[in-house]
């Protein structure tokens, strides 16, 4: 094994362990903070794979924005800050079925689609900003534009849900 592979495996272990702690800890805030650790380790994995831009996007969007959203979501609830005994849902069998099915789909897609993909770590140019940019604006323009519509819908939804004075029956346009 090369040094890069060893570092990659170690980071993967950190990411996996943190992810397990996210769902097993009894303290909600700690779950969010373990999620930071997991996302950070995944970002470092991207760095080892020379996907530089994706790694920093992971830090900016996931560690920065998504975790802040989650923390605000937790702060909106009445959940106590200490250990919670009733965090476990009664839907555990259904959750296991859904989780196994999702994992099966993801693993199948990844193995079938990228099973023999090969990244040359000696040439870190495909993961750079210009490499990603060339790919997005040459082949993936439509998903990129759809993303803006998705963000718009989510933003309008968040505004409508958070403002009790904006309702459908009131003035028609909201």
Partner 1 sequence: MHGYFGAYGLVALLLVVGAVFVTVALTANRLLRPARPTPQKLLTYECGVDPVGGGWAQSYVRYYVFTFLYVVFAVDAVFLFPWATVFAAPGFGVATLVEMFVFLGFLAVGILYAWRKGVLSWA
Residues in the site for partner 1, rule: CB under 8 A? 4, 47, 50, 52-53, 57, 60-61, 64-66, 68-69, 72-73, 75-78, 80-81, 121, 124, 128-130, 132-134, 136-138, 141, 144-145, 147-149, 151-152, 154-156, 158-159, 161-163, 166, 174
CA angle 123, 142, 48 (to 5 degrees): 25
What count of residues does the chain have? Answer: 174
Please say which residue, 19 or 66, places its beta carbon nearer to partner 1.
66
Closest approach of Cβ 154 to partner 1, in Å?
A: 7
* Residue carrying structure tokens 């969010």: 32
* Residue carrying structure tokens 């979501």: 73
Closest approach of Cβ 104 to partner 1, in Å?
A: 29
Closest approach of Cβ 26 to partner 1, in Å?
A: 16
Closest approach of Cβ 147 to partner 1, in Å?
A: 7
Which tokens in the block code for residue 168? 């459908």
Burial of 171 (0-12, 13-18, 19+ CB in 10 A): exposed
Please say which residue, 25 or 128, places its beta carbon nearer to partner 1.
128
Rounded Cα gap, residues 119 and 75, in angstroms: 42
Helices 3-24, 28-48: axis angle to 10 degrees equals: 160
Closest approach of Cβ 105 to partner 1, in Å?
A: 25
Yes or no: say if 39 and 11 are a contact pair by the CB < 8 Å rule.
no
């Amino acid at each position: 094994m090369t040094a890069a592979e060893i570092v990659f495996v170690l980071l993967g272990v950190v990411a996996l362990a943190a992810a397990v702690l996210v769902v097993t800890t009894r303290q909600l805030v700690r779950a969010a903070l373990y999620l930071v650790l997991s996302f950070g380790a995944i970002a470092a994995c991207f760095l080892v794979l020379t996907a530089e831009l994706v790694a920093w996007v992971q830090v900016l969007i996931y560690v920065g924005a998504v975790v802040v959203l989650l923390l605000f979501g937790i702060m909106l609830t009445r959940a106590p800050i200490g250990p919670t005994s009733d965090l476990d849902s009664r839907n555990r069998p259904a959750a296991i079925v859904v989780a196994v099915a999702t994992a099966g789909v993801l693993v199948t897609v990844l193995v079938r689609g990228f099973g023999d993909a090969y990244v040359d770590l000696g040439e870190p140019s495909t993961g750079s900003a210009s490499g990603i940019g060339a790919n997005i604006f040459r082949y993936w323009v439509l998903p990129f534009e759809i993303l803006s519509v998705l963000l718009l819908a989510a933003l309008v939804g968040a505004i409508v849900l958070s403002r009790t004075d904006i309702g459908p029956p009131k003035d028609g346009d909201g």
